[in-house]
A and B are shown apart, each in its own frame.
Chain A
Amino acid sequence: MITLANVRKIFNQARPNEYTAVDGVSLQLEEHDVTVFKGPSGSGKTTLLSLVGCMARPTSGRIHLLGREITSLPERFLTEIRRKTFGFIFQQFHLIKGISVLDNVMLPAYPCGERLSVLKERALHLLDLFNVSQKAHTRVEWLSGGEAQRVAIARALINGPSIIIADEPTAHLDSMHSHELVEILRGLKNDRKTILIASHDPIIYDSDIVDKVVHLRDGKVDEGDTGPRTRGHLQLLKGR
């Protein structure tokens, strides 16, 4: 279970351009659930995901992750938790150009000090799972959008995370690939992974794998819209 208590994130504190991106959010996210964060641009979705995902520390408030308080941990330990617990899928895939698909997938595991051969085996297995194993030794520049997305997912899973965080995973995919992604996410859900997604793509938040939608506005949780899937209501907001 992930608990957020009155979490606040202020950028450029005490400076003229001070900006409160997340403003007193309190939430409970269940394990093994798929939760979607939804809201207009600039509402703080990405910021909130980065706080939960141990990428940044809140300015105030408390976050408990699987029973552990992570708010006051130094970056060094946040990173350690992050790479053991979370797998990240970014909007722009963010694969490193110039090296092979396989190397990209193994990259998050390098600092963990595992033997390279063991690592390679695991990476190949994951690539196989997502049907890109035949591309293992090509450079990432040559991949199609869908392939790049699947490689990015394989990379997110290399350290065996229990929580998957995806920020706008479908922003650069056409609807066919977006549906494909939903199927992959379904598979992950069946593997009992916790999944957190920020998205304003109906293919994602209207999908039947979603257990909970959290609506954000101006860094606050829009209480009226939060709760078990409130699909119909959400349709109204889609225009924003």
Chain B
Amino acid sequence: MIFHPAIIALCVASLFICLMIAYSAYYGIKIVKGWDIKSGSEQQLVLERRTYLISAILTYVFGFYLISLFLYVFTVDRLHIVFTGAMCAAGVLKVNSYGYPTLLLKIMIFIFAGLWLIVNYADNRAYDYPIIKTKYLLLLILTPLVITEMILQAGYFLQMHPNIITSCCGSLFSEGKSSLTSELASLPVVPMEVAFYLSMLLTVYLGISFHRKGEKGYLFSVTVAIAFLISLVSIISFISVYYYELPTHHCPFCILQKEYGYIGYFLYVALLGGAVSGMGVGVLMPFRNIESLTGIIPSTQRKLALIAVVFFLIFTALVTYRIVFSNLVLVS
């Protein structure tokens, strides 16, 4: 165990969030069981009022996970001094088998909480709260994720033994060895770039056409999800390389460092924002024909599509700018 202030902060805050989410889930179950919008009973009113609390808590959870995600990476990055062989977060996350799963869960929870808030937003605008039960059932999926994340994170920090010799981004994301990460790194640059720009183009095209006509929502959402994954792979495969101007350095974390003007934060926030709002369109699709939501969901979806397009455009613009003005030439 390493007794770093940021580690204590992360663990303590996670514990609090866990308590809150468990509390929400408990009342979520009560709402699912006892909800009857037609009833004028006091019981129904009590349940209705609970929903305000749960919305507020989930909003906090969403905001919390965004900061937590970055603080986690930042803290882990800081710890590289303590581990032989590690030079940035990539290596430190590997010191035991909890590091990467925790990171992944944090991202998943952030996206999930964002999608939940989108559904919540739409539902709260319909006078009969038509998807309230679905909504609170979804909350029951989020709860175990949050609890698992807290346990994994605690496990990760508790199982850290400072004398572990680890590998780092140099070897983890290098092209020589055969592991998943190194294979991502050694993906051929040109096809990757083509795939990246194609996915962005498709996303933006579908997004704008959805914004205009409100058609092909599912397709747009799936494209966003794929574009999100392709972008993550692209960061490892070639985007990071342009930032480092080192053909062999593929680390997705070093771009978060000061040396690169914290550009990583902008890239990831744009990407995460785009993913949440874009996938939000798809998540709302099954509900758009519910009578009380017909006037609400389409306009919400259009807004979301536009936001997603803007985020992805920002991401693409940042990347393209760097590729054009980088001193490194990967593709001649």
Contact = CB atoms under 8 A, between A and B. Distances in A.
Secondary structure call for the A interface: loop
B40 A73 contact: no
Nearest to B124: A76
A74 B42 contact: no
B49 A75 contact: yes
B127 A57 contact: no
A218 to B, nearest CB: 20
Interface size class on chain B is: 10 to 19
A12 B45 CA distance: 12
A13 B48 contact: no
B40 A57 contact: yes
Contacts of B100: none
B37 A74 contact: yes
Interface string B73-115: 0000000000000000000000000000000000000000000
Contacts of B42: 12-13
Interface residues of A, number: 13
B129 interface: yes
B45 A57 contact: yes
Secondary structure call for the B interface: loop
B45 A75 contact: yes
B49 A72 contact: no
B128 interface: yes
B41 A59 contact: yes
B213 interface: no
B327 to A, nearest CB: 49
A58 B129 contact: no
A77 B45 contact: no
Contacts of B127: 73-74, 77
A12 B46 CA distance: 12
Contacts of B49: 75
B124 A58 contact: no
Contacts of A58: 40
Contact of B41 (A13, A73, A75, A77): A13
Interface in B1-54: 37-38, 40-42, 45, 48-49
A17 B211 CA distance: 56
Nearest to B38: A72
B252 to A, nearest CB: 41
A37 to B, nearest CB: 21
A222 to B, nearest CB: 24
A60 interface: yes
Nearest to B42: A13
25 contacts: A12-B42, A13-B41, A13-B42, A57-B40, A57-B45, A58-B40, A59-B40, A59-B41, A60-B40, A71-B40, A72-B37, A72-B38, A72-B40, A72-B128, A73-B127, A74-B37, A74-B48, A74-B127, A74-B128, A74-B129, A75-B45, A75-B48, A75-B49, A76-B124, A77-B127
Interface of A: 12-13, 57-60, 71-77
Q: List the 9 closest A-B pairs by CB distance, nearest first.
A: A59-B40, A77-B127, A57-B40, A72-B38, A58-B40, A74-B48, A73-B127, A13-B42, A72-B37
Given A57-B40, A74-B127, A74-B129, 18 more contacts: A12-B42, A13-B41, A57-B45, A59-B40, A59-B41, A60-B40, A71-B40, A72-B38, A72-B40, A72-B128, A73-B127, A74-B37, A74-B48, A74-B128, A75-B48, A75-B49, A76-B124, A77-B127
